[in-house]
Amino acid sequence: MTAAQPSNLALFWAAVIALAILLYVVLDGFDLGVGILFGSTADEEHRLHMMNTIAPFWDGNETWLVIIGAGLLATFPVVYAVFMGAFYLPVLLLLVGLIFRGIAFEFRFRAQRMRWLWDWGFFLGSIVVAFVQGAAVGALMRGVPVANDQFSGTSFEWLHPFSVLTGIGLVFGYALLGAGWIVLKSEDTLREWAYKRIPWLALAVFVVLGLAFAASLTVDAGAVAQSHLRDRPWGSIFPAVSIAALAGVVVSARARVRDGMAFLLTVLFIVAAYLTLGVMFWPYMVPYAITVASAAAPDASLQFLFYGGVMVLPVILIYTCGVYWVFRGKVKRGYT
């Protein structure tokens, strides 16, 4: 086994973590998007219905974030160590945002005089979580400095024009996903309210991504120059699909043929963008320094974890699917 050829167990766990990241982005992405949109209206009835659309799901969605962190620590400890060193501040902001957001979600229903505080907590917590995730992705696209399997940069290495723009882009992307979810789950005035915002949010995502691309050629030149996208021209199909899906979101929102179409097309946009990153990064787990093969734990450890994974992961998937099945359909009176 050469360093360039990861074992089957290493590939299995890399696939599990990659799938967990995608599921987290889609599932927690829409409830973060609802939180972002929550702060854009002062209508209490709209706010209440927004929270009711995600009430049965939001805490379970974050299970996938736990799987990502625990999975990296157990199966790719080098990646975990480098990532935590490179993104210590974003991870800290992420945790603070998630904690304050979760507290605000529960407290606002029982608060009277302090409800404004929990409303702001839910809104700002959602924005912070979305921004730092997008900024981390942008920083990964630029490449992470590593020496002797340790992060060799500074605490603010992740903060560059390109990564700031990708952070802003993900805020709008999650808001777009949240608007699609609101349309899918709501009726009457709130549904109409969300429909009107979808084209503008899609345009904002397109503009910010365009600015990020321009920044990678000018003020942050070479931000994505190390990627393998040019070496794999077949991978260009994924960014093309993502752009087409984004255009489809606008068309479907204006046509209003089916309420779920805008949400599904936004999910397609996210999946295509995620696959684009895969084409750019592979075989690196920490671009462009640590590969899947070099980061993997010993096969004996991966095999031990495999037996636990094949028992636990299907249970989590079944539970997740069960929740979405039980609470399918439009929200009428709310779940809270």
The number of CA neighbours under 13 Å toward the Cβ of 176 is 32
Query: Residue 323: inside a domain, yes or no?
Result: no
13 exposure class (CB count in 10 Å sphere: 0-12, 13-18, 19+): buried
pLDDT in tens, 142-195: 888 888 878 887 888 888 888 899 999 999 999 999 999 999 998 888 999 999
Please give the pLDDT value at position 4: 63
Q: Give the CATH number, domain containing residue 109.
A: 1.20.1630
Give me the number of domains the chain comprises. Answer: 1
324 lies in a domain? Answer: no
In a domain, residue 228? The reply is: yes
Q: Which of 1-15, 48-62, 163-177 has the lowest mean pLDDT?
A: 1-15
**124 located within any domain:** yes
Question: What per-residue confidence (pLDDT) applies to 335?
Answer: 47
Report the C-alpha gap between 29 and 197 in whole angstroms.
17
Output the pLDDT for position 168. Answer: 94
User: Which of left, alpha, beta for 284 (phi over 0: left; psi -120 to 50: alpha)?
Assistant: beta
Q: What is the pLDDT of residue 329?
A: 85
pLDDT-based confidence at residue 334 (cuts at 50, 70, 90): very low
Residue 155 maps to a domain:
yes
- Model pLDDT, residue 317: 92
Burial of 102 (0-12, 13-18, 19+ CB in 10 A): middle
Residue 228, number of CB atoms within 10 A of its CB: 16
Specify if 3 maps to a domain. no
- What whole-number distance in Å separates Cα of residue 242 and Cα of residue 235? 12
In a domain, 335, yes or no: no
Enclosing domain of residue 270: 8-300
- Is 266's pLDDT higher than 60? yes
Q: Give the model's pLDDT for residue 333.
A: 54
Indicate the pTM of the whole model: 0.91
Is 319 domain-assigned? no
